[in-house]
A and B are shown apart, each in its own frame.
Chain A
């Protein structure tokens, strides 16, 4: 997308610019990510550091951490998710309005980490569709900022206008995928966030790309 500054400071002061709707929407979305801080344990401290003035995530437009899922775009799972907590985490995710993304921060939420145990979810991707994984125990705030930037790059490639044209009727109420996908097991997570076209092709809910190969 052409820069807004360029458009508004042109000599004729017309304030007019041409762009594609997808790019305009994506530009708005990626620069106003409101995180849902799911700070479950030690990683939460680094998450707070990232939001604070020293690392200052406001430079990337993602500093407005909200504690109501209804106002959030990106869920940052920062910490050890236990099975007892898993249902609550899933409920919070379902309550977030579309479009939404998930960052798994730290090895605990990425893979269970050192807690190879009966109480801990071995990777939040067994209950949520994860967009970005951040390694580290805990990751430095820089690493999380890098994750936010990677997520922005991912959002740039999405195709939001498709949902306007085709309608979300194939999605369930939470927008997370088809209802005919029963359990979110490790094998089936890649199907979440997808929809099925009339020809039976499974496509990504955001990018519109085929996800069948997974």
Chain B
């Protein structure tokens, strides 16, 4: 694989090629050099696009999470997958939005669904769940019917009713 050869020539000894079932060329890198690796791949190997940023929860084994980047090179008609293991229940990872701004939404989704924080992301808010929702639904321990899915709505509802009541009592006092 050209990308792997190039990286080895730059002295990346710890980069491994792994075999995934779908036969997409896959490299495994350490978290410390993930951003550097993405930079090299973009600069030297022609990967102009990141098509996917997602994660896998391998709970209960450790390292728990695996971060996946899939890259596309249009000029070489080539694809590449990058795997990176993350330790701990609340991991941090470097953002790649400085290389590909389009990755911002995918990283937001990844934070929303798995609770992986991306350092350097400018706008790391939840994408699909309400901002105050305290859980990360694609984690293994999350029940599929959800943990109090209606809690935030009920709070909003209670406040709405309180506001309406305050308004009516105000009007009543004014009469």
Contacts and interface: CB of A to CB of B under 8 A. Distances in A.
Interface of A: 83-84, 86-87, 90, 116-121, 126-127, 172-174, 179, 182-184
B157 A172 contact: no
Contacts of B154: 183
B6 interface: no
Given A87-B156, A127-B153, A183-B158, A117 B165 contact: no
Tell me if A's interface is mostly helix, strand, loop or mixed. Answer: loop
Contacts of A87: 153, 156-157
Interface of B: 128-130, 137, 142-147, 149-150, 152-154, 156-158, 160-161, 164-165, 167-168
Q: Among A84, A117, A172, A173, which residue has the most Cβ atoms of chain B within 10 A?
A: A84
A93 to B, nearest CB: 12
Given A83-B153, A182-B158, A183-B158, A119 B137 contact: yes
A118 B156 contact: no
Contact of A119 (B128, B164, B165, B167): B128
Contacts of B129: 84, 119
B153 A117 contact: no
A119 B150 CA distance: 9
B164 A172 contact: yes
Nearest to B130: A84
B56 to A, nearest CB: 19
